[in-house]
Amino acid sequence: MNQHTRVSQVPIPFIDLAAQRKRLGGAIDEAIARVTAHCQFILGPEVHALEAQLAAFGGARHAISCASGTDALMLVLMARGIGPGDAVICPSFTFCATAEVAVLRGATPVFADVDADTFNVNVASAKKAVATARAQGLNPKAIIVVDLFGLPADHDSIATLAAAEGLFVLDDAAQGFGATYKGRPLGSLAHATATSFFPAKPLGCYGDGGAILTDDDALAETIKSLRVHGQGTDKYDNVRIGLTGRMDTMQAAILIEKLKIFPDEILARQRVADRYGQGLAGVAIVPKLAPDCTSVWAQYTIRLLPGRRDALAEALKAEGIPTAIYYPKPLHRQTAYRQFLVADGGLAVSDRLADEVISLPMHPYLESATQDRIISAVRKACGN
């Protein structure tokens, strides 16, 4: 600390990966050393061990690890044969990868609106998106739902809509893996669930990584083939077109150690979220958990009246407190995506949220005193 820096200005990390690294220290080093000793860097024993543990954790028959969360989404669409002429319904208020994979497959994303309370897809709007797709001569094949910021989507209503419309449900749990919906873990709620182990995610590795969870035996087999170039039983007779989409053994070894402390970290994240909720209720709109749900709080995202968040971000920055805007533009407003369809009735909530949201530092190692500093700074900046 510079001697002129006031304690109240010591920079606070947005996500403190170093604190977790300190906690796990030796265990991670030993896990990496085991891999460098056995040298099975691709699909080594740790990959298979991790997959068994992820399947158990997510309540699915199969977990297939892969190179990233985006590959996880992509591999599922590939395995389902989704392509030109097909529509994939997805929320507009999400990270681009959710819709990107549909476009990469030659399919058409059709954007649905979200609910302001949970930030997740609004099922009535998703239903309209299905009708919009059909009216344009497209074949609605799948819906990709997102558990944004770690908050579970309304999975029962989505399942009902999907059954009525014949849609395959792919849960993009990149931000939500570890959360539960009505007592059931994400991983067990959709036909397939994709997650990301990007370092900043609640369960992150030390590079890129992802996984797919499913109960569908045939889908799991196809995905395993696709992640290795579409290989068949004979390694040099490729039976389909695939990718180099595997997870490195080193990342699997790291994730095995991180998964051991993940349940404890989820509880710590909930404690941080509760403290924010109590400290900020009344000065901002704080996120609400749907009944019978738990969140992993990938982000703690509050809402302010339009036009007020830039001043808050500036005031916090001056106190050494970082913030982030997830997301300043919904997908249907972005250059690469604005050519695609939106559900009839428009996406007013997605547009509004993009002007209102601001995310605060959130990680399991955020100490109460530091968090209180953040809460006071937000209250002060908001005139309370």
Ligand X SMILES: Cc1ncc(COP(=O)(O)O)c(C=O)c1O
**Shorter beta-carbon distance to ligand X: residue 171 or 319:** 171
191 DSSP assignment = S
Which residue type occupies 245? G
Taking CB under 6 A as the criterion, the residue among 154, 208, 265, 356 binding ligand X is 208
DSSP 260-289: HHHHHHHHHHHHHHHHHHHHHBTTBBPP-P
Q: Which two tokens stand for residue 221?
A: 């087999």
119 binds ligand X (CB under 6 A): no
With CB under 6 A as the contact rule, which of the stretches 25-33, 92-100, 286-294, 363-371 interacts with ligand X?
92-100
Q: Counting contacts by CB under 6 A, is residue 214 touching ligand X?
A: no
- Whichever of 151 and 289 has its CB closer to ligand X, that residue is 151
91 is a site residue for ligand X (CB under 6 A): no
Q: Where are the beta strands (DSSP E) in 154-209?
A: 168-172, 180-181, 184-185, 192-196
Among 65, 92, 175, 193, the residue binding ligand X under the rule CB under 6 A is 175
Residues near ligand X (CB under 6 A), total: 15
Residue 81 CB coordination number (10 Å): 11
In the complex, least distance from residue 186 CB atom to ligand X, rounded to whole angstroms: 12
Q: 13 burial class (0-12, 13-18, 19+ CB within 10 angstroms)?
A: middle
Nearer to ligand X, 94 or 225 (CB): 94
Helix (H, G, I), strand (E, B) or coil at 195: strand
| Interaction between residue 97 and ligand X (CB under 6 A) | yes
Q: Would you say 174 or 192 has its CB closer to ligand X?
A: 174
316, exposed or middle or buried, with CB in 10 Å at 0-12, 13-18, 19+?
buried
Q: By CB under 6 A, is residue 172 in contact with ligand X?
A: yes
Nearer Cβ to ligand X, position 255 or 280? Answer: 255
Binding site for ligand X (CB under 6 A): 68-70, 94-95, 97-98, 146, 172, 174-175, 196, 198, 208, 210
